[in-house]
Structures are given as C-alpha cells and as structure tokens.
Amino acid sequence: MPRDTLTGSRIRERRTILGLKQADLARQAGISASYLNLIEHNRRRIGGKLLLDIAQVLGVEPSMLTEGAEAALIATLREAASASRSSTAELDRADEFAGRFPGWARLLAEARGRVEMLERSVETLSDRLAHDPHLAETLHEMLSTVTAIRSAASILAEPGEIDPDWQRRFHRNIYEDSARLAQSSRALVSYLDSEGRGATESVTPLEEMTAVFAAAGYHFPALEAGQPPEEVAAGLGRDLSDSARALLRRALRRQAADAAALPLPALLEAVAQLGADPLALARRFDSDPARMMRRLAALPADAPCGPVGLAICDASGALTFGKPLPDFPIPRFGADCPLWPLFPALSRPMAVLARRLRFAGRQGSVVQAYAVAQPAALPEPNRDPILEAHMMISPAAAPAGGEPAEEVGVTCRICARLGCPARREPSLLGDARQQEF
C-alpha cells in the first residue's frame, strides 16, 4: 500500500493515543464524524486545509501524518522479516505496519537489533576462541604449567624414598608453577573481561567509537572550547576496548583540528547566510571541501542549517565513519549502495560531485549530497596518494526547474530499484524484474 494512502491510519492511531473520540476530533476539525470515519479507514484522501486542521488538533506536524515512519525503521523491519528463511511476513506491507502501529514497529526493530548484536557477539567470541593468538598462547602456557605440576606431584606420590634435595626441588617447582598458573589465570580472565565488554555492546571497535559519537549528537562542546582531544577521549572511552579507544582518540583529534581551523561562532554566522553548502562555505573560509563537510556534520543540533549527515570511506570503499539522517539511513553491517556519489568520487580525486538523491521505492524526502575524494595524508615522493572520500547529505529544497532526484538504495538486499546495473545480489522484495543482473 503506498505511503500516501496510509494518512487515515496514522490519524486514527494518533487519535487513539491521545484518547480522543472520533466525534470530538471531527467537531474540532469542522467535518462530520461519518466523513472522518471514511478518512481513518483510508477510503477518502485528505490534504490541504483539512489536513492542517486535523494535524493541529492532534498536535503533530502534517508530515508525520502523510509521510509516516522514517526510512531507517522501514529498512530495519524488512531486514528483520527477511532474516528468517521460514518467515511469512508481507515485506510489501512493512510501511503500513509501521504507520499503523509505530510503537510495535519500533519494538520489533529494537528486538531485531538486539538479536543481531548478540549473533555478532557469538560469532566474534567464537572466532576469537579459534584464532586469537593471545588466547591460544595463554591457554597453551596454562596447560603446560598444569602438566608440569602434575608430573612433579606424581613423582612425589610414588612409593619409595626420595633424596631430600630432590624432594625440596620438586616442592619448589610445584610452588613456582602454581604461582605462575594463578598469574596466567588472572591475566586470562582480565583479558576476556576487557575485550568481551566491547564485543557484547558493539561487536567491532568502529561501532563502539560510532556509538560514542551518536550518544553525543556528533558534537563535543569540550573540543569547541579548546580542551585537548586526549582528555575528552579519556573521559568518554573508559568503557571501550583498547582498539575503540585508539579510534576515538584519532577521530577526536581530527574534529579538534577542524574546530580550531573553523571556529564555531564564525561558522554558525556563515551558515545562517549560506545554508549547508560546503563549497560556498569552503570558499568563504578558504578551506578544503572535506574539512567543511566534517565541520557541518559536527555542528550542534540547533544549527541554522538543519540536520547534516556524513559518510566517510577509505580507498577500498569501506566506511570509516557514518552519521545517518532519518531519510538517509547508513547500514551498520554489510555493503552500501554503489550508486552513492561517495564511491564514484574515489575515481575522480578533488572533483566535487553534487547529486540530488532519493531512495528507490519510497516517497520520502529528497536529500542533497556532495562528495569529494582527497588525499588522506601528505604526499610522499614516488608514491600514489592514499585517497579518502567524504559524502555530506542534507535535506534538499524543491528545485525551481523540477530537477528529478537520482534513485539509490540502502543496500542491495532491500533495494526496490528495478533493473539496477550495479546490483550485487537479488532483492528480498520479491519482484522478478529485480533479479536481473
């Protein structure tokens, strides 16, 4: 069912949450109860002044009634439905379910995320048991020590007299080996405990670091005030794994350098005039576009430019940072859509690509994307530069000429674009035309 035909269901859901009777809502909106009943059962379309009046009575923005659940929630529901091979969930009705029962939809999405996190934790711990060199070395040392203790004890337990000097030597060996075994056991427990915390909560160090940024809203006032990034990282990374703390320090050092080069008060004043245009702002501050994109994504939530998302990838195309928007989710696992301008930018270094994007199969908002690839380090003689690509995304205003937006996906598994030449695997949405490569 198309998203714009679910407005009535969302009106009914919101009215029920508020405990408002149908007759009361109809009276305040200036229509009959019978007509409102038709609207709530999606038998009459609604728009214009009536939609504004009903939204005002219900205390929500009109877009919440017409657009429904955000794209990330819909994508999560579809992934949850497709995770089980025996699932009989109707993938094409995920939007309807999220629109009519948003609370249950969020609960299901959170449960799916928790299950996925636990599955990845089990995989990570199993892989560590099989391939972790430190764990293997520690277990080998413990087994060798236990064998030595048992050998010495068996000699002392044998019948017959043992020379006192040899007896003292065996006792000393058992004492020393027992102390070493206790020390190795404590070290192993400490190692598993410290490493296990990160695996349980976020699985990978990159996800741990990203979780810290998300919890802070991607904005750190302490860095803006000039506090050293190492001190900020020490306070925020107490519960992280060692690898995640290293990534956090590096990310905060970069953000601190960006804040020093582009002070917040001057940038906010320029943003109020120019909006979220990284090229215009880069020209005003004589800055490179990638730094300006990072700086815009690190602004406070009440910045005049509105929400700004960011994706960064290395030369292999692997994401190293992601700040999603409600209408532009960025997957935590797996590969992203190769049609994002983030990836073509790698083949055109220093060229800024500007695209208007919209997710295929959805009627969500259009976003404006800017992408650029720049060297990640200073040049060295006789060596090709190592590139790093940035893609900034922000809500796009409707163009005067009606310029269409390019259709992209989140990832191939849940992409509704038909006949896509960049498709890596068939879509789970079930349309036969999507299976063609």
Indicate the average pLDDT of the chain. 81
Q: Which residues pair with 367 in a beta bridge?
A: 357, 395
Most confidently predicted of 99-103, 230-234, 322-326? 230-234
Mean pLDDT of the 301-330 span: 88
Could you give the residue ranges of the DSSP H alpha helices within 71-163?
A: 71-83, 94-100, 102-131, 133-157
Residue 219 pLDDT class (50, 70, 90 cuts) = very high
CA angle 127, 128, 133 (to 5 degrees): 125
> Greater confidence, 383 or 136?
383
- Residue 352 pLDDT more than 80? yes
- For residues 336 and 209, the model is more confident at 209
Structure tokens of 309? 């998302």
Phi and psi based region of residue 42 (left: phi greater than 0; alpha: psi -120 to 50; beta: remaining) = left
Q: Which of 11-20, 124-133, 387-396 has the lowest mean pLDDT?
A: 124-133
Identity of residue 91: L
Per-residue tokens: 318: 């692997």
Between CA 193 and CA 188 the distance in angstroms is 8
Q: Which pLDDT score is estimated for 70?
A: 57
Calpha distance 292→347 (Å, rounded)? 21
C-alpha torsion angle, residues 107, 109, 112, 116 (rounded to 10): -130
Predicted local confidence at residue 229, as pLDDT: 94
Are the beta carbons of 217 and 308 closer than 8 angstroms? Answer: no
**Share of the chain residues as helix, strand and coil, in percent rounded to the nearest 5:** 55, 10, 35
User: Is pLDDT of 49 > 60?
Assistant: yes
